[in-house]
């Protein structure tokens, strides 16, 4: 899944991202959620997706607006083949933070994995609209277009980078 964001960047998305884009919080609930999140990341990095998903869910229950936990939960669920559940988690995250480009990029990846390419393209477009510099969304969009052989002649040369 190097072609996917899912907040995981090693090889086929085996290493989740650390908590980087959340604002600093001093609440006890946030601090507990952050510790649980780090435990989930450790499980995720070891390929222990079931344990990681369980810990991501616990972090979310402790701090329901912990978007990085949602994003990494999506990745863990996808690795376990639970794509419908991963899609529901994406939808929930989007209801909490509707203008977060990574949510739509991840959702597009799940939709692509489900074979729902038109919807995936729409989500990649939305991610790009929210963040015009989001290279992962452009890459993921290009992968679908390349796979479906619908790149315009002008863009075919660029597709060789894929």
Pick the closest to residue 88 from 109, 74, 76, 102 (CA basis). 74
58 contact partners, CB below 8 Å, separation of at least 6? 36, 40
Pick the closest to residue 107 from 156, 70, 132, 145 (CA basis). 70
Tens digits of pLDDT across the chain (162 residues): 333 444 433 333 334 444 434 445 668 999 999 999 999 999 999 999 999 999 999 999 999 999 999 999 999 999 999 999 999 999 999 999 999 999 999 999 999 999 999 999 999 999 999 999 999 999 999 999 988 876 555 454 444 445
**What three-state secondary structure class fits 118?**
helix
- Contact by Cβ (8 Å): 65, 80: no
Structure tokens given for 154? 């002008």
Domain 28-159: give its CATH superfamily. Answer: Tetratricopeptide repeat domain (1.25.40.10)
Q: What is the DSSP code (8-state) at residue 10? A: S
- The label of the residue with tokens 């692509």 reads 112
- Contact by Cβ (8 Å): 28, 54: no
């Amino acid at each position: 899944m190097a072609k996917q964001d899912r907040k995981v960047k090693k090889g086929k998305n085996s290493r989740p991202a650390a908590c980087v884009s959340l604002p600093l919080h001093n609440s006890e609930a946030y601090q507990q959620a952050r510790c649980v999140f780090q435990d989930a990341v450790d499980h995720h990095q070891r390929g222990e997706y079931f344990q990681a998903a369980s810990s991501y869910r616990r972090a979310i229950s402790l701090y329901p607006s912990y978007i990085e936990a949602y994003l990494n939960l999506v990745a863990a669920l996808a690795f376990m083949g639970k794509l419908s559940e991963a899609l529901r988690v994406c939808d929930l995250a989007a209801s909490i933070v509707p203008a977060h480009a990574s949510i739509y990029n991840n959702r597009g990846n799940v939709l692509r994995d489900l074979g729902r390419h038109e919807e995936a393209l729409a989500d990649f477009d939305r991610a790009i609209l929210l963040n015009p510099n989001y290279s992962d969304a452009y890459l993921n969009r290009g992968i679908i277009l390349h796979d479906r052989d619908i790149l315009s002649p002008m863009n075919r040369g660029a597709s060789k980078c894929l």
